[in-house]
Amino acid sequence: ASHAGTESTDSGVLEELFRKSLFLPEQASSIAKDVDHLHYAIITAALVMAALIFGFAAYCLIRFRRRSETDVTRKVQGTLGWELLFVGVPLTTFLVWFYIGYHDFIRMQTPPPGAMDVYVVGKQWMWKFTYPEGPNSIGVLRVPVGKPVRLLLTSRDVIHSFYVPAFRIKQDAIPGAYTQTWFEVTKPGSYRVMCAEYCGLKHSEMWAEVVALSEADWDAWMKEQREGRVALRDASPSGPEREEPGIPARRVARYDAQEPHGEVMYGERGTLPERGERVAAERGCLRCHTVDGTAHIGPTWLDLYGRQERLTNGETVVADEAYLTESMMKPQDRLVEGYEPVMPSYQGQLEAAEVAALLEYIKTLRSARLENTRSEGP
């Protein structure tokens, strides 16, 4: 949807001109304005500083130029005031600049509590999105306007970078690890996603789209996805669902063959937690990990997500998506205290979709306990 002409006030027009003349893209996220303000603050500070320095240099060149053959430069001493000024002004400027940058950085790095999670997988040369509720999509990420969305990113092959100019966010997607970023879209529309890390032949075509929907449109779309999933499951009760967890190989092959910017939706394989439960059983996770709180070879998954764990190296770590993924890929690196180092690495063994499914399954095991204690009451 186009929004041209919606801002007709004078200040709106001026802002529009100012923005366009400095070639900054549209602002469509809650942090975009702050990022741009910092950008303008840095440019302004740099220009003012440069003008002062060059101006003062030019003044000195003219005012203190050599006027005759016998001219001798005057010896200058005891200029503490000037020295304080010359050190103090730039230092204060840079400290203010640093503070604004630090403040914005922390805000950009901290997703608000209650943000909606979406898993993002980059691969040569496309972006794939998976919602915990089950829907998958290639090339198109649908999100509601006005709600914070947290992206959990990984890659199937090389390092990519998820870049949405209109949101002012850019985050690397790294194979075998999860990184995160977040945004909140401020107006409905369609926004271009680019890959910002050179990743091979079609790097420049590794595009996707974020489609921001109004709350009503979003609810309708999610409902459609849920109904579609139920319909597909009813149509083939023993269908392909049981074959293998995550994405079946033939589907992946089909994605490769087709136009990468098209959208493919399917949801018959259930929600991520449902898939995760199957992955856990089929991959043997449950031989060492329990889900009911009982101690076994590895830490129990009950109430594991978000728990503070003490490591053998003395550090403590919060078991979030990043640490849980690290535990699957490099289990010996940062071991939880009190357990034998017997877990094998699943690097290259688990598909990104399977890791996402396991994470979402483990996350549900947190609320399951609370529900159990509630229903076990007298």
Please report whether residue 256 would count as binding ligand CUA according to CB under 6 A: no
Beta carbon of residue 349, minimum distance to ligand CUA (angstroms, whole number):
23
Among 19, 187, 192, 203, binds ligand CUA (CB under 6 A): 203
Of the pair 49, 174, the CB lying nearest ligand CUA is at: 174
Please report whether residue 128 would count as binding ligand CUA according to CB under 6 A: no
Please report whether residue 126 would count as binding ligand CUA according to CB under 6 A: no
Residues 274-333 that bind ligand CUA (CB under 6 A): none
Please report whether residue 208 would count as binding ligand CUA according to CB under 6 A: no
Of the pair 125, 129, the CB lying nearest ligand CUA is at: 125
Beta carbon of residue 169, minimum distance to ligand CUA (angstroms, whole number):
16
Please report whether residue 164 would count as binding ligand CUA according to CB under 6 A: no
Of the pair 142, 160, the CB lying nearest ligand CUA is at: 160
Please report whether residue 157 would count as binding ligand CUA according to CB under 6 A: no
Q: Which stretch binds ligand CUA (CB under 6 A): 79-87, 195-203, 208-216, 319-327?
A: 195-203
Beta carbon of residue 266, minimum distance to ligand CUA (angstroms, whole number):
24
Number of residues that bind ligand CUA (CB under 6 A): 9
**Three-class SS of the chain:** CCCCCCCCCHHHHHHHHHHHHCCCCCCCECCHHHHHHHHHHHHHHHHHHHHHHHHHHHHHHHHCCCCCCCCCCCCCCCCHHHHHHHHHHHHHHHHHHHHHHHHHHHHHHCCCCCCEEEEEEEECCEEEEECCCCCEEECEEEEECCCCEEEEEEECCCCEEEEEHHHCEEEEECECCCEEEEECECCCEEEEEEECCCCCCCHHHCCEEEEEECHHHHHHHHHHHHHHHHHHHHHCCCCHHHCCCCCCHHHHHHHHHCCCCCCCCCCCCCCHHHHHHHHHHHCCHHHCCCCCCCCCCCCCCCCCCCCEEEECCCCEEECCHHHHHHHHHCCCCCCECCCCCCCCCCCCCCCHHHHHHHHHHHHHHHHHHHHHHHHCCC
Please report whether residue 156 would count as binding ligand CUA according to CB under 6 A: no
Residues 68-97 that bind ligand CUA (CB under 6 A): none
Q: Which stretch binds ligand CUA (CB under 6 A): 32-40, 79-87, 91-99, 190-198?
A: 190-198
Of the pair 199, 328, the CB lying nearest ligand CUA is at: 199
Query: Which stretches of the chain bind ligand CUA, using CB under 6 A?
Result: 122, 125, 160, 195, 197-199, 203, 206
